[in-house]
Amino acid sequence: MPPKEMDDVLINLPLRIGAYVPEDLLEDWFAPMTGMSPVSKAALDRAVAYGRRFDCEFKYYPERLEGVFWKYVPAL
């Protein structure tokens, strides 16, 4: 599970600002012992669910080896 500080980051994350998490931490936080390179589907699915708890979107970028949480921006 992510550290409590990450909960605070996502709670207070402003719109249009991302919180970037390297893939090794994604595995450690969301699916330890499942391997890495590529990040497991279990880790990515749990990261999506975790982000939703804080009204955040999540996307993994394999070319950058990181995932990003951000607050949804409603249509202007």
Which pLDDT score is estimated for 75?
65
Could you identify the residue written with the tokens 């880790």? 43
What is the chain's pLDDT, residue by residue, as a tens digit (76 residues)? 999 999 999 999 999 899 999 999 999 999 987 766 788 999 999 999 999 999 999 999 999 999 999 998 776 5
Which pLDDT score is estimated for 72?
83
Q: Is residue 24 part of a domain?
A: yes
Q: Is residue 76 part of a domain?
A: no
The type of residue at 6 is M
In the chain, the number of structural domains is 1
Task: Give residue 30's domain range.
Answer: 4-71
Between CA 22 and CA 34 the distance in angstroms is 16
Which pLDDT score is estimated for 32?
85
Within 8 A by CB and 6+ apart from 53, the residues are 10
